[in-house]
Amino acid sequence: MRSLLARVGDSGPLDRFLAAVRGTGDLMATGSALHAALQRSGDARGILGGVRTGTPWGLGDARPVDVVLLCPRGRCTRVEAPSQRSARCALFDEPLRPERI
């Protein structure tokens, strides 16, 4: 976004939007201003998508999330795939701990 706005000489709308996201401004107003600035810069979709990608800015393509189940206390190397039944630790009788990989 910044390079697109820099080509027309004004990255201020992006800076103001980022400040609003960080909690120091009006998110709706700055988002609308950023959207309009991107459109003026040649991106017809504005904040909804990059010129070439067609996906929302900064989000990239959706990727599946893989989860495994591990020892709840980190005491062993057990790894289980999630299933319909809830897996439990045989030693501590606790649910296995989900971990994103």
pLDDT digits (tens, 9 = 90+) for 66-79: 889 999 988 888 88
* Whether residue 91 has pLDDT greater than 60: yes
Helix (H/G/I), strand (E/B), else coil: 28: helix
Give the span between the Cα atoms of 80 and 77, in whole angstroms: 10
pLDDT of 15? 92
Residues 74 and 37 in one domain: no
pLDDT digits (tens, 9 = 90+) for 3-62: 889 888 888 999 998 888 888 778 888 888 998 998 888 887 787 765 455 555 555 555
> Does residue 55 fall inside a structural domain?
no
Counted domains in the chain: 2
Residues 73 and 37 in one domain: no
